Structure formats: structure tokens, C-alpha cells
Chains A and B, each alone.
Chain A
Amino acid sequence: MAEAALKTVPLDRARALQWLQRYGVYAGVALLLVVNIVITPHFLSAENFRTQAVQVAPVIIVALGMALVIGTEGVDLSVGAVMALAASVTALYLGYGLVPALLVVALFAAGAGLANGALVALVGVQPIVATLALMVGGRGLALVLLPQLKDLRNPQLASLGSGDVLGIPYLILIAAVLALLVAFTVRRTTFGRQLLAIGDSRPAAQLAGLPVRRVLIVVYVVSALLAAVAGVLATARLQASDPTSLGNLMELSAITAVVVGGTPLTGGRVNIAGTVAGAVLIQLLTATLIKHDLPPSWTQIAQAVVIVAAVYAARGRGKR
């Protein structure tokens, strides 16, 4: 359909589509900001911005890992389950202090990522299926370890969740630092280059002598570790460990943020700034609907429409 249209109106359509694909997400964020400033009362308060930013931080952190995985032409459906796993392990080991608990969480997450990566890189299973197994089993394991919601009373954890530096909450700072780190890795390091090459064409990368298996495994481990960070931060903010519902549908939010932000599902390209903007876009959209008293049902339907529209708009990119 798009191709047929391209022939009749060659330059304008193509250029508009390209512009939309590259800057559409920022335009969307700007549009939502303007609309909200006009129609939503008390939108322009520092308190509101702070709330929105704190809510979106875990999504951004998970989406960073997802962007890397999608850059290798994969997908990681297990991120929500890893978040839940991180929450229950935190609750179990918090008695030994925050740092030991975090180390154990990192160990569990690395194990989960290693399992995903080994299935994808060594066995050659499709990423969807490999991570699906952990999506099913991971949440089950989280619930086995901690069957129900548990309040956590740890001053260090509480300050991690609600403390701030110069008025900026730790959550936002951590998300920002991680985003810069991941963006740097993708753009400026050998590892980032190898990752994109594998996403472009795995056989070609293999023939070129790149360490395909190692890179893939590391990517899935990084994704799981980032999901675990998000799980710990969300737990810290709640001051409770909730393995039943923490991270539910997180894989969908993260994939949406990545795709809306202009990273094609076909791999070979990663847009970190766009991913962050994509997460912000979804957050603003949900917040707008909620602030105007639309019920959750309509919020979900609207989200579904936005996802499909974003993937539809992004579809031209994959073919180049």
C-alpha cells in the first residue's frame, strides 16, 4: 500500500514518513505536553513532573535492556518475571542488609539472563520462545520464593525509593545514568558495534569472525540485570515486595517504548534517546487519560491502539 502511494507522490510522502519515523516520538511528547498544559489543571507543577518521572523511571530502565535485545533482532519477554523475581529475592535477603541482598538479586538476574542467552545463542532457539519459558517459570519461581505481598521495613531501601539529591529523586538519576551508559555503549564501543552487526545479519557477523555467541549472551544478561534494577527500585518505592503483580505487562510497555522510539523490530539499529522518549510518551498518554477520569478500560484500549499505530508507522524502516 505504502509502495503504491510512493510512486504517485514520490518525494513528499517518503520524506514525511521518514520525518515521522525519526522525530514522530518527540513530536508526540511535545504535542501531549502542550495539550496537557492547556486542558489539564495543575499540570505545570514540579510535583506533577516529579510524580510522572518517578513512575516512568522503571519502564525506561527495562526498555534500555529491551532496546539492546531488539537491536540484535531478538526480544525479551521475561523482563516482567525477572522484576518479580528481583522483588521476592530482595525481600528474602534484606535481613542481611541492603548490599548483600542486592548482590544476591544480581546473581539471580544474571542467572536468568544467562539461561535466556544460552538458549538463544548456544542452542539456537527463537528469542520469543526462549524468553517465554522464563516468563512462565520466572514468575512462578518468584511466587514460590515469596507467596504473597510483604511489607519491607528497611531505612536504606526506603531512602533508595524516595530519597533525592538536590530535589531530583534517586530513581530518575539512576535511570538517566543508565540511559547515558547504554547510549554510550551502543555508539562508542566495540561491543555496541558488534551488537548492531549481529542484529543486521547474524550469518554475516559470524562469517566476519565476530564473537556472536558471547555478545548475544551478554546482551540477554544485561537485559535481565536492568530488569532486576527496575524491580528493586519499584520495590523500594512501594516499600513492599509484590511478586504477584510487580512487572505485569512490563514486557509490553518496554517493547512499546522501544518501538515507538524508532528502533525497528528487525534489528541492526538502536535508538536510545527515542526509547526514553517512547517511554515518556506512553506515560504521558496514560496520565492524560487517567487525569481526565477515563476508566482503566479505555486507557488500555487507547494504549493498544497507540502500540499498533506505532508499529505500523515503523514498518517501512524494517525493509531498508
Chain B
Amino acid sequence: MTVTKTQAPVSVDEGKRAAGAEPVGSARSERLSALVQQHGALAVLVIVSLVATFSFDSFATGDNVSNMATSSAFLAIVALGMTFVIITGGIDLSVGSLFALGGVLAAWGSRHGTLVALLLPLVVCGAVGVVNGLLVARSRLAPFIVTLAAMLGARGLMLAITDEGANTYLIGKGSFLAELGQGTTLGLGNPVWIMLALFVAGAVVLRRTRFGQHVYAVGGNEDAAALMGAPVARTKILVYTLSGVLAGLAGALNAAWLASGVTILGNGMELEAISAVVIGGTLLTGGLGYVSGSLVGVLLLKVIQNVINQIGSLDSSYQQVVSGAFLAVVVVAQTWLGRRRQLM
């Protein structure tokens, strides 16, 4: 499989150098590299936010911050599921399509009551996630190609529901669903609170439960995890299911926020989510990652987007260029830090 086994071979003299390194210095530099890995994105986020606050009067206003928080919430929920998948050493490229599908299903289902509107996206997107997981875990197909196909299939399904994208279903005003998406509690939009609750739950699951430990074990070394008796296949199926459900939920909330199931959303969202997760310090090779880092990664992407919008003269396409460049820098740094740590 392409995803799990690309590690540059260590040349002989690098190995010698590492063996001769001083123990004290290496411990310190290891701690430093771990610190950069875990909190580097947070530091950049703080710096960018401070610079933006002093440069633009309209940046640190209540309205702008609350808007940024709400628009980050949807991507953050998708990135949470992606974090689990990436820690197992996989990747889920279908989340953008599932996000759009979830939104359309929620809006379509809202005509049949709130319960249908909320459950339908979760069930359908979860089912796509189960299929992804089965193909990856049981049939041992490469995750990127399975989920790439799922991305195509889910978008096809979404188009089939909406008469080839010609039909946009609306969500009635005053319904519970609309309130869930548009209402505010204590000054922050409801989606933000839902997102925060999910992240707390996600962090607890990842750190404090057996399932969470299995996720790390599978990503760290699949064969070793299997030998130790960890349920490798079940863990993988669960993470892809979780990713599908969360993408569907994010789509449903987004549709509730917009009051309609917009069909053209979610294009390229998988790339944004992966960027956010990687920027947040989760290793794409699996086995190491932080839920909190993914949230920081999402916020960083959104703050940069906001700054680019504030500048005004810059086209919004610059956002993609900056994200891509940022992703490249982070990946190079990660590989470099990772290799140093391995040598010690």
C-alpha cells in the first residue's frame, strides 16, 4: 500500500552521526522537535492573529470573530473525523462529497420532520463510510483510491437526489433544524458549540478509551498491532465510518445554517481538511496526532482566509496558494523532525 510504507532509507553515515550524538543534547532537541510538532501551528496562529489585529481594525471585532468561528465549525467537524483516519495511516478523500450529500439530504429530509432531517444524512454518509472502511480493511485496497471512488459515487448520489443539481431543497424558517444552524447561545453560533462538544468528546475517545489506543496502534505499526491482538480491521472500519458520519453531520449543520441544501458546496473540502489536520501536527504516516492540533489547523486556515479577504485587493484564489505552500512547508518540517527523532 502506498500510504503506509514510504520511508526514506537512512544512509550509513547519518546513522553513525546519530550514534555518536551526546545524550543530553539529543534529549533536549528531541523535546524541542516534539514541541514544534505539537504546538508550532498554535504559535503561528497566535502570531498571525496578533498581526491581523494590529493591521486591520475590523479583524478583532465581535462580529468578525463570531463569523469566523461559525464558518470554521463545519470544516472543523470534518477535520475531526479526518484526524482519526489519518492517525490510522489512512486518508479519506470522500468527505467533501459527503459534506454536500449530507446537506442536501438534511434539506430534503426536513420536509418529513426534524428527526428524518437529522438522521438521514448521518445514516447515509455513515453507510458510505462503512463501505470505505470495509474495502480498506477487509479487501486491503489503497485508502486513497477507495475514497476517491467514494467521492465520485457520493457526488453522483447527491446529483441524483437533486435532479442533476437543478433542485435546491429549502429548510423552513423557525424549524428546530434552522434554529440548530442559525441560532446563537452565549453569543456564539450553535454549530460552534456542537463542534466544541464533538472535539472534547473526540479528544477523550482518542486519549482515554481502548478504541483510541487501537487507533494509534494501527497507525503506528499495523502488523505489530495485529500481533498484539488489536482489532485492526474493526478499528479501520470504525474510523472511516466516523469520518463519514461527521462529514454528513457537518453538511447537515451547514445546510441548516444556510437554510438550504446547496449542491455546489464541499468541492475541495477534503483537501482543506487534510491540510488542517497535517498543519495541526498529525503525521500523515499515522501513529501520531492530536485532535486539538486539527482545530488549530482549521482556525489557522480560516484566519489566513479572513486576512486575505480583509486585504481586499487580493483574489480569494490566493487562499489556495497559501494553503498549498503552507502544507508543503509543514510536511517538509514534519519529515525532517521525524527523521531526526528516529535517529535518536
Chain A residues near B (Cβ < 8 Å):
73-75, 115, 119, 123-130, 132-141, 143-144, 147, 202-203, 206, 249, 251-252, 255, 259, 265-266, 295-301, 303-305, 307-308, 311-312, 315
Contacts and interface: CB of A to CB of B under 8 A. Distances in A.
B152 A126 contact: no
B160 A265 contact: no
Interface stretch (B114-122, B139-147, B200-208): B139-147
B47 to A, nearest CB: 22
Interface in B105-149: 135, 139-142, 144-146, 148-149
A251 B278 CA distance: 21
Interface string B301-333: 000000000000001011111111101100110
B271 to A, nearest CB: 5
Contacts of B218: none
A202 B9 CA distance: 8
B159 A297 contact: yes
Nearest to B131: A308
Q: How large is the interface on B (under 10, 10 to 19, 20 to 34, 35 or more residues)?
A: 35 or more
Contacts of A75: 2, 144
B7 to A, nearest CB: 7
Given A126-B284, A259-B145, A304-B150, A138 B324 contact: yes
B233 to A, nearest CB: 13
Contact of A147 (B135, B149, B317): B317
Contacts of A311: 141-142, 145-146, 149
Nearest to B140: A315
B81 to A, nearest CB: 18
Contacts, number: 160
Given A132-B274, A297-B157, A127 B6 contact: yes
11 contacts: A73-B2, A119-B332, A125-B332, A126-B6, A136-B268, A140-B319, A266-B1, A297-B158, A298-B160, A301-B152, A303-B152
A136 B2 contact: no
B309 to A, nearest CB: 15
B159 A265 contact: no
A304 B32 CA distance: 45
A133 B327 contact: yes
A124 B274 contact: no
Contacts of A129: 278, 284, 327, 331
Given A128-B144, A129-B284, A144 B315 contact: yes
B155 interface: yes
Interface core residue of A125, A133, A296, A303 (most chain B CB under 10 Å): A133
Contacts of B164: 295-297
B91 interface: yes
B297 to A, nearest CB: 14
Contacts of A265: 1-2, 142, 145
Contacts of B139: 312, 315
Interface of chain B, main secondary structure: helix
A298 B156 contact: yes
A213 to B, nearest CB: 10
A304 B2 contact: no
A297 B263 CA distance: 12
Nearest to B285: A126
B315 A147 contact: yes
Given A128-B3, A140-B319, A133 B328 contact: yes
Interface of B: 1-3, 6-9, 91, 135, 139-142, 144-146, 148-153, 155-160, 164, 268, 271, 274-275, 278, 284-285, 315, 317-325, 327-328, 331-332, 335-336, 339
A202 B158 CA distance: 42
Interface core residue of A115, A126, A251, A315 (most chain B CB under 10 Å): A126
Given A136-B275, A147-B315, A124 B339 contact: yes
Interface core residue of A119, A206, A297 (most chain B CB under 10 Å): A297
A187 to B, nearest CB: 24
A219 to B, nearest CB: 14
Contacts of B268: 136
Contacts of B317: 140-141, 143-144, 147
Contact of B2 (A128, A132, A206, A295): A128
Nearest to A140: B320
A135 B318 CA distance: 14
Contacts of B332: 119, 123, 125
B152 A137 contact: no
Contacts of B315: 143-144, 147
B160 A140 contact: no
Contacts of B328: 115, 119, 130, 133-134, 137
Contact of B141 (A134, A136, A312): A312
Contacts of B339: 124
A255 B145 contact: yes
B331 A304 contact: no
A139 B320 contact: yes
B274 A206 contact: no
Contacts of B274: 132
| Nearest 4 A/B pairs, CB to CB | A137-B324, A140-B320, A124-B8, A300-B156
Contacts of B152: 249, 252, 300-301, 303-304, 307
A136 B91 contact: no
A300 B159 contact: yes
A159 B2 CA distance: 41
Contacts of B159: 295-297, 300
Contacts of B9: 202-203, 206
A114 B145 CA distance: 24
Contacts of A305: 149, 153
Interface core residue of A124, A130, A138, A303 (most chain B CB under 10 Å): A124
A295 B278 CA distance: 37
A140 B323 contact: yes
